[in-house]
Structure 1
Amino acid sequence: AQKRLYILNQLEGAELSYNIPGAMLLEGELDRQRFEEAFCGLVARHETLRTGFEMVKGEAVQRIYEEAAFQVEYVQISGEQAEETVRQFVRPFDLAQPPLLRVGLAELAPDRHILMFDTHHIVSDGVSMDVLIEEFVRLYSGEPLEPLRIQYKDYAVWQQSDEQKAQLAKQEAYWLDMFRGELPVLELPTDYPRPAMQSYEGRTLQLFMNREKSEGLKRLAAENGATLYMVL
């Protein structure tokens, strides 16, 4: 998956397509030194955040660094500047230069800040971002974290084992059989025509549901061995 994302990231127009940005409002007293130390602790804790990607003899490889310089970006802004500040915070990553995590803190007032964060999908996803935020809160609160038993590279090695390769080959054969022949273009009933060339333009549509429906979807996913993302 990381090799695929590395190649896709090289495509023209895809520079920001695999960024995972976010922002949240922080209200209350904030210790900037402890704030930055907590994020530095995350970078030291997770090898993925200290991993760079490059081409070696025509092959995409990952390189894990013992250390990766990390610094929170600080800025003081007014409320009117907030939206533009968050927008400009999201910019392309150089995949060869870790950490592939960027954090910013925009001060609106001494007790009011906007936390901005951005990471690349090659080292993170929605689930892992939730984990990082949870661990950040615990580190900032001074709570010690249990050492990690495995790192992502251990999973990658397991995925490349002979046993796992055989399982993947079996799955590949199944899906190639399912999709053999000419495949129709998926034309969803949208209110706009499909562009001839992918533009990578889009927007976010939010919807809200009650707890009962939310729990029902999670049960449906668990009963079918699927993720909530797959169900949706």
Structure 2
Amino acid sequence: MSDLSQRIAALSPEKRKLLLERLNQKKGDIFSGSQIVSQSRESNSFPLSFAQQRLWFFDQLQPGHSAYNIFQSMRLVGSLSVGVLEQSFQEVVKRHEVLRTTFTTVDGQSIQVIAPTPTFRLLVVNLQQLPEDKREVEVLRLAHKEAQHSFNLAKGPLFRVTLLRQSETDHVLLLTMHHIISDGWSIGVLICEIAALYEAFSLRKPSPLSQLSIQYADFAVWQRQWLQGEQLETQLAYWKQELGSRLPVMELPTDRPRLTIQTFSGARETLMLPKTLSEKLKALNQRQGITLFMILLAAFGTLLSWYTGQEDIVVGTDIANRNQAETKRLIGFFANQLVLRTDLSGDPTFLELLERVREMTLEAYAHQDLPFDKLVDALNPKRELNRSPLFQVKLVLENTQTPSLELPNLTISSLKVENKTVQVQFDLLLELNETEKGLFGVWEYNTDLFDTASIVQMSRNFEILLGKISTHPETKLNELKTILSEADKQHNLAQEQVYQNIIQQKLMNVKRRNNSRL
């Protein structure tokens, strides 16, 4: 997840100083006198954070659903000490109370309960008895099964680790956590700590990690106490002004009519933007003193406006929500969702649109502390069973890369596990990652609404749009939309020609067969 400081870090020093001054004027010293402190553990039960509360409600409606599983898999080749790896995970479970937390209800109130540190046992599945050509198939089967295996929030544990042994020097590590105790940032924390602990324990040294000053439960207590009164009203006032009046519903053209009840059946399609294009976009954001995310948001809004014919575009995004230094070292569910509303009216140039987007996003970041579900409750939009509230399309730029696991005497690589049952929460989600080769993206879409071909074409149109923007950002939006229309027309004509050629070839084949019978 990318928080405000990370998004602004890419700016030039002059622009960064100016924007930070403006942002601080908007936000003020909201955390003054609100330091998170460690709570007494005497009762051993604590309130849920607002983010946890949402997933708890979801689990009550659909118990044991795997939609909120966080799954990681990696191959470890070399000399692995299973005992040291187990000891490392034992220490991480000891350090982070959230990894031994369960959830229940007392007197109608949901609470989180922290268990004493258990003896951690690494589940080792030995596949060496299988023929070598069958082991990899079994690894993929077990990995897929593990990714879909649900959790019981009341019983736990909500953190599982499985080691698949293919040979003495070839293992696959499977990590699964429920989202209620973790997020994307947390995976990075976990990997860094396992690497440091494994290296130290391999040398029979003590843990090199400093003691944590707070735990996730302390954050949950603080959040409940802090977000009330004046702080809550300040946050609510901004969002009510920004979103409270006639919030538009995005009407993307779909391949099938929308069902009366929202479905979660989905699929994924990848996108790879060349490095040359990514570098041009970065050069643009440096010239304009904005972030890459702002450029992508403005371009994405332009694309959606062309598809829908709407000029008031609302999309969601994720934010890390780790504003205090103490929270950056914790495993837990901190991530929040922001609603970003872009005005594309008046046929501005793309540069003028960027100014609008910059103003809007900075305001949103300045009011990022209001949990999404409290925002939904406050705005109380008309609830529809076939749409997610407030926004149906989401854009995420993951510019905090999850570190790769590095262990002594081991070569570690990711294991790609095909997920045949993708669960989606929105009509459309585009998640982009900065890589050495360029911007890599994944489109996640609802298959009850869209065909794969439609998403592939949308991806192609997005790349065309970014290409034009990167070289001619002074172009007006209507001209950009004309370019998209022409590109789409040419593509459809080419596809139609391919289709006609196939039909013609089939007719010729039938004719030849008929002639051969005469």
Deviation, 1:183, is 4.3
Whole-Å Cα distance in 2 between the matches of residues 221 and 156 of structure 1? 29
Residue 170 of structure 1 corresponds to which residue in structure 2?
Answer: 234
Residue 137 of structure 1 corresponds to which residue in structure 2?
Answer: 195
Answering whether residue 262 of structure 2 is matched by residue 198 of structure 1, we say yes
Percent of aligned positions that are identical: 37
Answering whether residue 140 of structure 2 is matched by residue 83 of structure 1, we say yes
Alignment of 1:34-73 (within 5 A): 34-73=84-123
Whole-Å Cα distance in 1 between the matches of residues 276 and 64 of structure 2? 36
In structure 2, the CA distance between the partners of 1:147 and 1:185, relative to structure 1 (3 Å rule), is same
In structure 2, the CA distance between the partners of 1:85 and 1:49, relative to structure 1 (3 Å rule), is same
Q: TM-score, normalised by structure 1?
A: 0.84
Report Cα offsets for 1:109-155 as digits up to 9, x if no partner.
21111111110111100111111011111111115211112211222
Whole-Å Cα distance in 1 between the matches of residues 177 and 276 of structure 2? 29
Aligned length: 231
In structure 2, the CA distance between the partners of 1:205 and 1:138, relative to structure 1 (3 Å rule), is farther
Deviation, 1:47, is 0.9
2:159/2:178 contact within 8 Å kept: yes
Say which one has the larger Rg.
2
Larger mean Cα displacement after TM superposition, 40-49 or 177-186? 177-186
Report Cα offsets for 1:17-68 as digits up to 9, x if no partner.
1110111111111111111111111110001111111111111111112224
Residue 171 of structure 2 corresponds to which residue in structure 1?
Answer: 113
**Secondary structure of 1:203's aligned partner:** strand
Report Cα offsets for 1:165-210 as digits up to 9, x if no partner.
2323322233234333554433335555544333333234444454
2:64/2:150 contact within 8 Å kept: no
1:68/1:99 contact within 8 Å kept: no
2:64/2:151 contact within 8 Å kept: no
Displaced runs of 4+ in structure 1, greater than 6 A? none
Larger mean Cα displacement after TM superposition, 213-222 or 122-131? 213-222
**Secondary structure of 1:23's aligned partner:** strand
**Secondary structure of 1:186's aligned partner:** coil
Alignment of 1:93-108 (within 5 A): 93-108=151-166
Answering whether residue 212 of structure 2 is matched by residue 148 of structure 1, we say yes
Report Cα offsets for 1:51-88 as digits up to 9, x if no partner.
11111111111111222453222113301212211011
Q: CA RMSD in A?
A: 3.1
Gap regions ≥5 residues in structure 2: 1-50, 128-134, 201-206, 295-357, 369-395, 400-430, 433-518
In structure 2, the CA distance between the partners of 1:59 and 1:39, relative to structure 1 (3 Å rule), is same
In structure 2, the CA distance between the partners of 1:116 and 1:58, relative to structure 1 (3 Å rule), is same
Deviation, 1:157, is 2.0
One-letter identity of the residue aligned with 1:164: L
Whole-Å Cα distance in 2 between the matches of residues 204 and 69 of structure 1? 39
Deviation, 1:160, is 1.7
Whole-Å Cα distance in 2 between the matches of residues 207 and 39 of structure 1? 35
Whole-Å Cα distance in 1 between the matches of residues 167 and 121 of structure 2? 21
**Secondary structure of 2:227's aligned partner:** helix
